[in-house]
């Protein structure tokens, strides 16, 4: 049980937090702390108190797992604790190492003094959970470091190095070593000053000194209104600071509390808290115990120097890992190397990289035309044409040259990784590593676990993903894995709605208003319509597609592959990526409706959005039933980090939960009854039907 250690150092009580790993301030910790403060206050042999993390870190703040549960407000609350600190008759010093974040920093600000190790980081990251600092932070921080600095800390949510604030009243001292010794010394000196009649310093007694309060707050409001349109927390932070800066601090606390509750009860914070836990849960893989040994990846080979291969290579170069880049022809290889250099040069121009680093990264790149040169690398990722025959050739050659123990990975986005593994004599070493384009930018990495993939190969892939700063989600083998299998259903609905009466612009516009970065047609024009065409042709041949995508196929037969051919679902002017509505496409759709004998009807935006999103959800549910994805939150992460699903909605499964699965199933049944509907498509997946009937949810258990 989380608690605190209490010991004496001379006449100073040392209260050490013991709630590993991050000393979050759950109920047991709060109760332990209040008891320790009461004990110290009552003990005549104690002159002061030091609060310190017992395990290398101060505190990561309130226990987020308690949010939305009765434990969060169960007394003593964080509020009671901070009030108890304000009322302490003896000096209390916060000794900060590791991190003091959120409620952890708020606790420290309620102490009379703060001492930090120079390596410590402090911050108020509540904004990243869709919240504001709700334990006095919006009132105490401006009093300690000024309004402008405090707004920067709270609006960015970033953990910042303690020395940044060494000269402000936030810290009495920032030390390089012996944190406890320094904190005890500060407590002793403060106790001595108290005996001499000095008052204990409290942040609450400071005045906010900011002559241009209104100007600063207005500027901040204007900035966040455009940058964080859908997020209520940044504005609430500014409002709380502005309100409290000119009033007694208790009035500020009350306003902060009101706004905190409002945010906590709202859908955006629920979604962002979901994402916080989803990111951490994704690294837990069934059947892969923590501490599974990993293989050493000192050098990587990438096959294919096209857009995908070069994007993949950049990830490793950025992480300082040497890359051998293989192509079949010199010209393509040279182009690939030039593309990588250009990417870095672009970053230099934007001031994101310096010229020396550019050269250092390029020096890690070794282009080659020979498979033999891949013999020494520890991991090879192929990014060649999406065709089983081509993959077979590549993997047979790799099997011949790769050293024993090397991991052989395919970047396939749809093909059967088990079949690919079968082209080698070492299927345990084969895995899918599905990057998303542009591979050096997109955060998602689908890690595809084949039937025979060895546990240490999987563990290595997960660890490597962290190193190259990707969000890794494990998927089982199926056509399209998690992301593309679901997007196929979404695209099918988008096309179906064109057949029924919607326009390309209307479908894109509706889902973009919902918050997607790009609608399905603009997205397809960007990625290349030929990719889907190629996959559909295979799926027609395999009998996997019930309906022909008549308009989409005709579009490709006309060579309208998207931006790269200057025409796709939209028209494009030379050198201009702005999508212009296309008369050609409108006529094509019209013609297809006539051939099918469809009388077009008007679809409203709500129908368009629900059909697109619930198509994702229904397939997501099937993916869960088949155990292709381990958990609903993994599916959400795939969509948030790889497909532009709006972050503030928490992903498709979380969004469905927020609408209630009963409502979702009802909408699906209504769509099944529409004229011309594919009723099989809209039959709720058994998991959706069960959860709808039981009142369950994907993410809240039951799935
Ligand atoms: C707040 O304080 C509100 C107040 O203003 C007002 C209240 C009234 N609670 O990230 P890691 C878990 S809001 C519960 O993998 P790292 C985390 O889930 C809070 N659990 O490690 C994981 O568990 P598991 C404001 C938490 O070294 C494990 O700890 N504070 C909390 O990469 C390790 O985490 C924040 O937003 C928590 N507060 O990074 C800080 N924090 O192993 C959020 C972590 O079961 N936390 N866990 O998956 C962080 O930024 C990072 O976790 C931290 C460590 C930098 C601390």
Query: Mean pLDDT, consecutive 10-residue segments, the chain of 703 residues?
Result: 86 97 96 97 98 96 93 92 95 98 98 98 98 98 97 98 97 98 98 97 95 96 92 98 96 97 95 96 91 95 96 98 97 98 96 96 98 97 94 97 98 95 98 95 97 97 97 96 95 94 98 95 93 87 84 96 95 93 97 94 96 98 97 98 96 97 97 89 96 94 59
Locus of tokens 């099944």: 672
The CA distance from 670 to 679, in Å, is 10
> CA-CA distance, 551 to 367, in Å (whole number)?
42
Looking from the CA of residue 106, the nearest atom of ligand 1 is 5
SS3 112: coil
434/426 Cα distance (integer angstroms): 20
Nearest residue CA, atom 41 of ligand 1? 60
Q: Can you tell me the distance from the alpha carbon of 216 to that of 236, in angstroms, rounded to the nearest whole number?
A: 15
Residue 280 domain-assigned (yes or no): no
Whether residue 573 is found in the same domain as residue 487: yes
Ligand 1 atom at shortest distance from the alpha carbon of 72: 8
CA 22 to centroid of ligand 1, rounded, Å: 7
DSSP, collapsed to helix, strand or coil, labels residue 175 as strand
* Domain membership flag for residue 269: no
Question: Is 290 assigned a catalytic role?
Answer: no
The total of other beta-carbon atoms located within 10 Å of residue 354's CB is: 11
Determine the Cα–Cα distance for residues 424 and 439; give it in Å rounded to an integer. 26
Same domain, 321 and 203: no
- Tell me the CA–centroid distance for residue 38 and ligand 1, in Å: 27
Question: Measured between alpha carbons, how far apart are the two ends of the chain, in Å?
Answer: 29
| Any domain includes 276 | no
H or E stretch at 50: strand 48-53
CA distances from 434 to 170, 308, 668 (A): 46, 10, 31
Q: Are residues 453 and 487 in the same domain?
A: no
- Cα of 539 to ligand 1 centre, how many Å? 44
Answer for the pair 38, 30: CB distance below 8 angstroms, yes or no: no
Q: Residue 664 in contact with residue 617, Cβ under 8 Å?
A: yes
- 103 C-alpha vs ligand 1 centroid, how far in Å? 11
Give the chain's domain count.
3
Determine which residue's CA is closest to atom 33 belonging to ligand 1: 21
CATH number of the domain that residue 74 is part of:
3.90.226.10
Integer Cα distance of 347 and 419 in angstroms: 39
DSSP secondary structure code for residue 403 in this structure: P
The residue whose CA has the least distance to atom 24 of ligand 1 is 280
CATH number, domain with residue 584: 1.10.1040.50
Buried b (16+ CB within 10 A) or exposed e, 491-523: bbbbbbbbbbbbbbbbbbbbbeebbbebbbbbb
Q: Which residue has a Cα nearest atom 42 of ligand 1?
A: 280
Is residue 295 in some structural domain?
A: no
Which of 475, 501, 527 is at the close of a domain? 475
Residue among 66, 97, 126, 595 flagged as catalytic: 126
Ligand 1 centroid – CA 581 distance (Å): 47
* Nearest CA owner, ligand 1 atom 43: 60
Residue 256 annotated in active site: no
Domain end marker among 236, 264, 292: 264
> Which tokens is 417 given?
């990784």
- 116 lies in the same domain as 178: yes
- Within a domain: residue 176? yes
**pLDDT confidence of residue 73:** 85
Task: Find the helix or strand (DSSP H, E) in which 51 lies.
Answer: strand 48-53
Closest atom, ligand 1, to C-alpha of 124: 25
Q: Which residues of 165-184 are buried (b: 16+ CB within 10 A; e: fewer)?
A: beeeebbbbbbeeebbebbb
In sequence order, the 6+-apart residues with CB closer than 8 A to the CB of 578 are 572
Torsion from C-alpha of 409, 411, 412, 416, nearest 10 degrees:
20
Q: Are residues 442 and 542 in the same domain?
A: no
What are the CA-CA distances from residue 482 to residues 125, 344, 473, 622, 703 (Å)?
A: 31, 31, 9, 10, 16
Peptide bond into 76 cis (omega under 30): yes
For residue 61, which atom of ligand 1 is closest to its CA?
2
Classify residue 164: in a domain, yes or no: yes
Same domain, 496 and 416: no
- Of the CA atoms within 13 Å of residue 630, those in its CB half-sphere come to 19
Mapped onto helix, strand or coil, the DSSP state of residue 176 is coil
273 assigned to some structural domain: no
Residue nearest to atom 15 of ligand 1 (CA): 280
Last residue of a domain, one of 264, 292, 323: 264
Same domain, 241 and 313: no
465 and 487, same domain (yes or no): no
The answer to whether residues 126 and 204 belong to one domain is: yes
Residues 197 and 256 in one domain: yes
- Ligand 1 binding pocket, CB closer than 6 Å: 21-22, 24, 60-65, 78, 99, 101-103, 106, 125-126, 129, 133-135, 137, 280
Q: Residue 498 has which token pair?
A: 């064109």
Instruction: List all residues 6 or more positions away from 307 whose beta carbon is below 8 Å from its beta carbon.
Output: 339, 437, 438
Atom of ligand 1 nearest to the CA of 104: 2
Nearest atom within ligand 1 for CA of residue 65: 14
CA of 1 to the centre of ligand 1 (A): 18
What tokens does 23 get? 């000393």
Residue 438 lies in a domain: yes
Q: Which of 17, 60, 281 for mutating ligand 1's site (highest number of atoms within 8 Å of CB)?
A: 60
Co-location of 250 and 330 in the same domain: no
- Could you tell me the residue range of the domain that residue 637 belongs to? 483-694
d(CA 565, CA 530): 11
Catalytic residue among 106, 446, 500, 619: 106
Strands 3-9 and 12-18, how do they pair?
antiparallel
Whole-model pTM?
A: 0.93
CB distance 524 to 569 below 8 Å: yes
Give me ligand 1 centre to Cα 21, in Å.
9
Same domain assignment for residues 403 and 544: no
| 39 touches 3 (CB < 8 A) | no
How far apart are alpha carbons 559 and 60 in whole angstroms?
Answer: 55
């Amino acid at each position: 049980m989380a608690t605190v250690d209490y010991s004496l150092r001379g006449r100073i009580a040392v209260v050490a937090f013991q709630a590993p790993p991050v000393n979050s301030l759950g109920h047991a910790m709060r109760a332990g702390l209040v008891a320790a403060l009461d004990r110290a206050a009552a003990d005549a042999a104690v002159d002061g108190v030091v609060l310190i993390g017992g395990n290398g870190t101060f505190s990561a703040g309130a226990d987020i797992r308690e949010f939305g549960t009765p434990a969060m407000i169960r007394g003593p609350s964080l509020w009671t604790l901070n009030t108890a600190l304000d009322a302490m008759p003896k000096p209390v010093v916060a000794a900060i190492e590791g991190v003091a974040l959120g409620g952890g920093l708020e606790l420290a600000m309620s102490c009379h003094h703060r001492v930090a190790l120079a390596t410590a980081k402090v911050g108020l990251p509540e904004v990243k959970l869709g919240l504001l600092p709700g334990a006095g932070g919006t009132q105490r921080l401006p009093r300690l470091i000024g309004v402008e600095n405090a707004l920067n800390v709270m609006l960015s949510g970033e953990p910042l190095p303690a020395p940044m604030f060494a000269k402000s009243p936030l810290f009495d001292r920032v030390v390089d070593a012996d944190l406890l010794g320094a904190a005890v010394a500060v407590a002793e000196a403060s106790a001595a000053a108290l005996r001499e009649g000095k008052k204990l310093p409290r942040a609450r007694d400071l005045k906010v000194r900011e002559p241009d309060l209104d100007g600063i707050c207005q500027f901040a409001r204007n900035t966040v209104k455009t940058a964080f349109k859908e997020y209520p927390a940044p504005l609430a932070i500014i409002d709380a600071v502005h309100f409290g800066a000119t009033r007694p601090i208790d009035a500020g606390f009350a306003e902060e509390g009101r706004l905190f509750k409002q945010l906590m009860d709202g859908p955006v914070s629920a979604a962002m808290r979901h994402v916080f836990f989803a990111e951490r849960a994704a690294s837990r893989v069934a059947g892969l115990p923590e501490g599974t040994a990993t293989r050493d990846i000192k050098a990587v080979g990438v096959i294919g120097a096209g857009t995908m291969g070069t994007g993949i290579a950049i990830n490793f170069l950025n992480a300082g890992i040497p890359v051998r880049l293989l192509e079949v022809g010199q010209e393509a290889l040279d182009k690939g190397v030039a593309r990588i250099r250009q990417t870095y040069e672009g970053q230099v121009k934007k001031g994101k990289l310096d010229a020396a680093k550019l050269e250092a990264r390029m020096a890690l790149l070794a282009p080659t035309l020979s498979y033999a040169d891949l013999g020494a690398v520890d991991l090879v990722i192929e990014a060649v044409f999406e065709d089983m025959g081509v993959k077979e050739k590549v993997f047979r050659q790799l099997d011949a040259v790769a050293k024993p123990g090397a991991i052989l990975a395919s970047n396939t986005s749809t093909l059967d990784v088990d079949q690919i593994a079968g082209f080698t004599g070492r299927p345990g070493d084969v895995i899918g590593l599905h990057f998303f384009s542009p591979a050096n930018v997109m955060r998602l990495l689908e890690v595809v676990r084949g039937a025979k993939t060895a546990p240490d190969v999987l563990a290595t892939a997960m660890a490597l993903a962290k190193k190259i700063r990707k969000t890794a989600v494990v998927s089982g083998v199926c056509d399209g894995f998690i992301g593309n299998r679901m997007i196929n259903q979404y695209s099918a609905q988008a096309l179906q709605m064109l057949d029924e009466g919607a326009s390309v612009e209307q479908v894109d516009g509706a889902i973009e208003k919902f918050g997607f970065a790009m609608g399905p047609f603009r997205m397809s024009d960007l990625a290349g319509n030929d990719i889907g065409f190629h996959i559909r042709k295979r799926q027609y041949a395999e009998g996997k597609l019930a309906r022909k995508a008549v308009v989409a196929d005709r579009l490709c037969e006309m060579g309208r592959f998207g931006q790269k051919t200057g025409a796709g679902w939209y028209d494009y002017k030379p050198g201009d990526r702005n999508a212009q509505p296309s008369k050609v496409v409108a006529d094509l759709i019209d013609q297809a409706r006539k051939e099918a004998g469809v009388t077009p009807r008007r679809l409203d935006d709500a129908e368009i959005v629900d059909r697109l999103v619930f198509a994702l959800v229904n397939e997501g549910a099937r993916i869960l039933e088949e155990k292709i994805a381990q958990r609903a939150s993994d599916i959400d992460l795939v969509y948030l980090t790889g497909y532009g699903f709006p972050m503030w909605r928490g992903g498709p499964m979380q969004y469905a939960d927020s609408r209630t699965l009963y409502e979702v199933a009802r909408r699906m049944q209504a769509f099944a009854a529409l004229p011309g509907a594919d009723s099989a498509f809209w039959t709720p997946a058994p998991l959706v039907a069960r959860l709808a009937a039981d009142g369950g949810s994907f993410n809240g258990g039951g799935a």
